[in-house]
Amino acid sequence: MVRVSERSERAGADADARTDGETTDGEVTNSEVASDETAADGGTVADAGAGTTTETEAVADAGTETGTGTEAESRETAVEDGAETLAERSGPKPVETGAESIARALEGAGAKHIFGVQGGAIMPVYDALYDAALTHVTMAHEQGAAHAADAYGQVTGTPGVCLATSGPGATNLVTGIADADMDSDPLLALTGQVPTNFVGNDAFQETDTVGVTRPITKANYFADSGETVGDVVGEAFALAGGGRQGPTLVDLPKDVTVGSADREPDEPELPEYYEVPEEADAETVTEAARALASAEQPLILSGGGVTKGEASAELRAFATEHGIPVVTTMPGIGTFPEDHDLCLSWAGMHGTGYANMAISHTDCLLAVGTRFDDRLTGGIETFAPDAEVIHVDIDPAEVSKNVHADYPLIGDASQVLDQLSGAMADAFESEGTSTAEYEAWRERCLEWVEEYPMEYATPEDDPLKPQFVVEALCEACPDDTIVTSGVGQHQMWASQYWTYRHPRTWISSHGLGTMGYGLPAAIGAKIAAPDTEVVCFDGDGSFLMTTQELSVAVRENLDITVVVLNNEAIGMVRQWQDAFFERRRMASMYPWIPDFAKLAEAFGAKGLALREYEDVADVLAEAREYDGPSVVDCHIDPAENVYPMVASGGDNACFALSEDQL
Ligand SMILES: Cc1ncc(C[n+]2csc(CCOP(=O)(O)OP(=O)(O)O)c2C)c(N)n1
Ligand SMILES: [Mg+2]
């Protein structure tokens, strides 16, 4: 997955040369760049070298004056106050600097929004954005920028873009980049860097960002010239969204962004060396079709790659035409409608009993776009023990990595499913079988649904159960509502008790399991799909990690509903302590957390508290009706645990339905 472009090596050589006193490519000398850096971080914006200072100040003034209004509105006001309006300008300004070339490359790539936080080394890029046809969303923390961009990328299907300064700005992005890497989310991160002649000198706010992010990016680049930096950014954007999606990063030294560029950047496109496999090997497709046709208990396992590859329609057509039951992975939630007769919901550690039983008993598993994460498989030796495995994936590196593939089908999920579909009639004929053979298996799957229903108790004298709240909100919301979450028990309840019917409606942190993902992700999702309802289920611990982003939701007047399933604990840890550490609840109880409803009000959002069953419908309705961000501090039963549960590394067929079964 990791690739550092040759540019980084060249840049390293350039940096070495420049420490000996050479000047940069740019028109600005190194000493000028360095003094800009100091000035900006010291707060003297007027000294910022490449910026049109009056405009910058005007933006700040506009924001302060109004106190409300989106950031984009503030910028428009500022421009109108100035001598020249955007509309009055005749055509786009010619590209003169590296930073302008970056802005043009992003426009050319189709980017519409950028999420970021300002800072010294990235100021020239921000300045170029002032004139660009892109909307910048200032976030409160760079981690929020990365998660918002990640969710934006997941909802739109094209890379979300985040922007940060060097040093702490870049390191604050790291969690979000790692998150995107684990979940193959399309994300482009742009980071400021100290001028190239300072690289390696422990300069102010210098971090080896390319080095730090090498293992968590699909590719990363160190830009080394104003002339080519726009091309590099365009390529990084295309790469983040092409083939197996993932995060890319371009590190942008300040002398490069202020350096001259007197040409338009190239059309953003995938680098020549990068090949996207499309159709799978025809012979293997025929063999895989025969394996399915001769199976008696076939099962489809639909992963996140089905969403990424826009293959849900093909998957649904394939499953329904042949009557094959479908289990999803957790990232694959929504790739097949959960209210469909053939859907067994999602499998894995906290998946449904019936999904795990189906996986444990299938004789032919058609797995599409999944990397067989250990939370899905449990112990590999007990995973789908009787199955021949057909694995469809765009990334050959995933095939037989965790689970041996008997029929590897490398290619684009929708195309491979089409190929497979086309091969089925011949396969049934040559095997002398038909879909009627699957009938008994479907019945058996339905028996498991009856036998292991998703249940919870609601004794009136117990505090509110989180599952009830999730179900109530699901029933009230439209089908296409986007749900985001933090990480922990609440995430499991949100995925177990909400009924997902469409791809890109469940936006969560899977592989990395990042607490704090939910709120910034809801912001990114709402900006990507302003007409779609967005709900965030958060935990009290998770919400505390990125609460500051509520200020962004208020400023942008984003109509999102945050439901904090508040158990005054980092509940998932508490659950494990109770089960595996003799109830020694070390550092997991959070009775000290703030009143989230009041906190929300302090940010300017709507704050609501919820404790009783009888208030659930009204409070949720009030939160949804509020025109802007609302936070429901929902006090749930602190003793509630997540079941079913397959013990870590265990057998999926041996799931516990209560603690004493673990
Ligand atoms: C950034 C981060 N730190 C620590 C963890 C470990 N962890 C996993 S779940 C969890 C509990 C989360 O608490 P909360 O958000 O309140 O959710 P709950 O389980 O109570 O629903 C913790 C601490 C994590 N996943 N992410
Ligand atoms: Mg909690």
Question: What is 191-244 written as a DSSP string?
Answer: EEE--GGGTTTT-TT---HHHHHGGGSSEEEE---TTTHHHHHHHHHHHHHSSS
Residues 221, 300, single domain; the answer is no
Element (H, E) at 299: strand 298-302
116: Cα separation from own chain's centroid = 16
**Helix, strand or coil, per DSSP, at residue 178:** helix
- Asked, for residue 339, whether it belongs to a domain, the answer is yes
Distances (CA, A) of 276 to 53, 281, 394, 417: 45, 14, 8, 16
Does residue 645 belong to any structural domain of this protein? no
Q: Is the CB of 490 under 6 A from ligand 1?
A: yes
Ligand 2 centroid distance, CA of 595 (Å)? 13
Model confidence pLDDT, tens digit, residues 103-139: 999 999 999 999 999 999 999 999 999 999 999 999 9
Residue 577: inside a domain: yes
Residue 656: strand pairing partners: 645
DSSP of 514-562 = -TT-HHHHHHHHHHH-TTS-EEEEEEHHHHHHHGGGHHHHHHTT--EEE
Q: Would you say 485 and 537 are in contact if contact means Cβ atoms under 8 Å apart? A: yes
Specify whether the CB–CB gap between 309 and 408 falls below 8 A. Answer: no
pLDDT by residue (tens digit) across 602-614? Answer: 999 999 999 999 9
Atom of ligand 1 nearest to the CA of 492: 21
Residue 434: other Cβ atoms inside 10 A: 12
Domain annotation covers residue 145: yes
Ligand 1 geometric centre to CA of 564 (Å) = 13
Q: Within this chain, do residues 176 and 307 fall inside the same structural domain, yes or no?
A: no
* Residue ID of nearest Cα to ligand 1 atom 4: 515
Q: Which residues of the chain have pLDDT under 70?
A: 1-69, 72, 74-91
Compute the distance from residue 536 Cα to the ligand 2 centre, in Å: 14
What does the DSSP 8-state code read for residue 46?
G
Q: Whose CA is nearest to atom 8 of ligand 1?
A: 488
Pull the structure tokens for residue 317: 């057509």
Cα gap 50→621, rounded to integer Å: 49
- Ligand 1 pocket, 513 CB below 6 A? yes
- CA distances to 169, 171, 194, 251, 373 from 205, rounded to whole Å, are 9, 10, 7, 13, 37
Q: Residue with the nearest Cα to atom 1 of ligand 1?
A: 515
Angle, helices 142-156/168-183, rounded to nearest 10 degrees: 30
Identify the domain boundary among 422, 451, 480: 451
Residue 82, CA distances (Å) to 52, 127, 157 in order: 11, 16, 37
Would you state the pLDDT for residue 17? 33
Return the ligand 1 atom nearest residue 175 CA: 1
Specify the pTM. 0.90
User: For residue 118, what are the domain limits?
Assistant: 48-258
Looking at the structure, do residues 246 and 298 belong to the same domain, yes or no?
no
Q: What CATH code is carried by the domain that includes residue 378?
A: 3.40.50.1220
What type of residue sits at position 54? T
For residue 262, the model assigns a pLDDT of 86
Atom of ligand 1 nearest to the CA of 545: 1
Residues 481 and 615 in one domain: yes
Among 451, 483, 512, which residue terminates a domain?
451
Does residue 374 belong to any structural domain of this protein? yes
Instruction: Tell me, using a 6 A CB cutoff, whether residue 486 lines ligand 1.
Output: yes
* 572 touches ligand 1 (CB under 6 Å): yes
Ligand lying closest to the C-alpha of residue 546: 1
271 domain residue, yes or no: no
Active-site residues, by number, are 142, 204-205, 254, 572
- Position 81 scores a pLDDT of 53
Q: Does the CB atom of residue 488 touch ligand 1 within 6 A?
A: yes
Are residues 475 and 445 part of one domain?
A: no
The number of CA neighbours under 13 Å toward the Cβ of 64 is 6
In this structure, are 66 and 212 located in the same domain? yes
> Which helix (DSSP H) or strand (DSSP E) does residue 621 occupy?
helix 616-625
Spacing, Cα 632 to ligand 1 middle (Å): 19
| 295/407 same-domain check | yes
Domain boundary among 242, 258, 274: 258
User: Do residues 578 and 444 both lie within one domain?
Assistant: no
Secondary structure, 3-state, 88-104:
CCCCCCCCCEHHHHHHH
d(CA 137, CA 555): 10
Q: Does some domain include residue 460?
A: no
Q: What is the dihedral of CA 252, 253, 259, 262, to 10 degrees?
A: -20
Cα-Cα-Cα-Cα torsion 70, 72, 77, 82, nearest 10 degrees, comes to 150
CATH code of the domain covering residue 549: 3.40.50.970
Residue with tokens 């790659």: 305
Average pLDDT over all residues of the chain: 89
- Tell me how far apart the alpha carbons of residues 167 and 509 are, in angstroms, rounded to a whole number: 25
Q: Look at residue 432 and give its three-state secondary structure.
A: coil
- Same structural domain for residues 225 and 290? no
> What pLDDT was estimated at residue 102?
98
One domain, residues 127 and 215: yes
Is beta strand 560-566 parallel, antiparallel or unpaired with respect to 606-610?
Answer: unpaired
Asked if the structure places residue 643 within a domain, the reply is no
Position in ligand 1 atom list of the atom nearest CA 538: 15
Q: Which residues surround ligand 2, an ion (CB under 5 A)?
A: 539-541, 567, 571
CA distances in angstroms from 316 to 55, 301, 308, 359, listed in the order given: 52, 12, 15, 19
| Spatial contact of 638 and 541, defined as CB atoms under 8 Å apart | no
How far is the centre of ligand 2, averaged over its atoms, from the C-alpha of 351 (Å)?
Answer: 20
Ligand 1 atom closest to residue 491's alpha carbon, by position in its atom list: 21
Of 464, 487, 586, which is best to mutate to test ligand 1, by the most ligand atoms within 8 angstroms of its C-beta?
Answer: 487
Sheet with 343-346: list strands edge to edge: 343-346, 326-328, 298-302, 364-368, 388-393, 407-410
| Atom number, ligand 1, closest to the C-alpha of residue 572 | 19
Name the β-bridge partners of 609. Answer: 633
Question: Ligand 1 centroid to 538 CA: how many Å?
Answer: 10
- Whether 515 is in the pocket of ligand 1, judged by its Cβ within 6 Å, is yes
Q: How far is the CA of 491 from the centre of ligand 2 (A)?
A: 10
- Ligand 1 pocket check for 541: Cβ under 6 Å: yes
User: How many domains, the chain?
Assistant: 3
Classified as helix, coil or strand, 111 is: coil
* Cβ proximity of 252 and 193 under 8 Å: yes
Q: Is the C-beta atom of 514 inside 6 A of ligand 1?
A: yes
| Protein residue with least CA distance to atom 9, ligand 1 | 488
Ligand 1 centroid, distance to 491 Cα (angstroms)? 10
Query: For the CA atoms of the chain, what is the radius of gyration?
Result: 26
Are 148 and 192 part of one and the same domain? yes
How many C-beta atoms lie closer than 10 Å to residue 68's C-beta? 11
* 97 and 224 assigned to the same domain: yes
Report which residue type is found at 157: G
Q: Which two tokens stand for residue 478?
A: 């439209």
Q: Of all protein residues, whose CA lies closest to atom 5 belonging to ligand 1?
A: 515
Q: For residue 616, report the distance from its CA to the centre of ligand 1, in Å.
A: 25
* Ligand approaching nearest to the C-alpha of 588: 1
Residue 542 Cβ contacting ligand 1 at under 6 Å: yes
Atom of ligand 1 nearest to the CA of 588: 23
Q: Which residue has the CA at smallest separation from atom 23 of ligand 1?
A: 570
pLDDT, residue 64, reads: 33
User: Pairing between strand 388-393 and 247-253?
Assistant: unpaired
